[in-house]
Amino acid sequence: MSLRDRISSDLKTAMKAKDSAKLATLRLINAAIKDREIAARGDGTSGELSDGDLVAVLTRMVKQRRDSARAYEEAARLDLAEKEIAEIAVIETFLPRQMTDDEMTAAVDAAIAETGATSVRDIGKVMGVLKARHAGEMDFGKAGAIVKAKLA
């Protein structure tokens, strides 16, 4: 079952269960996907998004909500922060499992060995390999720090 089919199926299930919080989040997901498809059509492509593109859209949504939740917590608006965190939980059910720190370190080591990276100047090559192989599975902020530490 494709990612788009899973989202549609969960949307129908949430409607039947009258789960308004999950339903609202799933509608936001569909809106973000439609926006991305429209933008892709404007670029001259077919507009149909692959599962990889959908993962990128969902990852961006999670990042936006984490930033919003952090801002709400700093402003002492815990009710809004909890809403953002609940949306993150729904969105993450459609994302691949995130790598642990040990798995991330092993992936970085493999990418460094593959690219033959020896200095900090080679970080871009290593990150390119990691992004191609582990999109949606890895926090690239943490991975970049690991790569930099290993090549320094």
Residues 42, 113, single domain; the answer is no
Residue 44: per-residue pLDDT: 67
Same domain, 21 and 73: yes
State the CATH number of the domain containing residue 81.
1.10.1510.10
Find the CATH number of the domain harbouring 114. Answer: 1.10.10.410
Q: Which of 65, 92, 119 is the last residue of a domain?
A: 92
Cβ 26 vs Cβ 10: under 8 Å: yes
Residue 15 has a pLDDT of 95
Q: Which residues span the domain enclosing 56?
A: 3-92
Say how many CA atoms lie within 13 Å of 88 toward its Cβ: 16
pLDDT computed for residue 47 by the predictor: 66
Listed residue (115, 95, 109) closest to 146, CA to CA: 109
Q: Identify the segments of the chain with pLDDT beneath 70.
A: 44-47
pLDDT of res. 70? 95
Give the C-alpha separation, 100 to 114, whole Å: 21
User: What is the pLDDT at residue 2?
Assistant: 85
Whether residue 75 sits in one domain with residue 57? yes
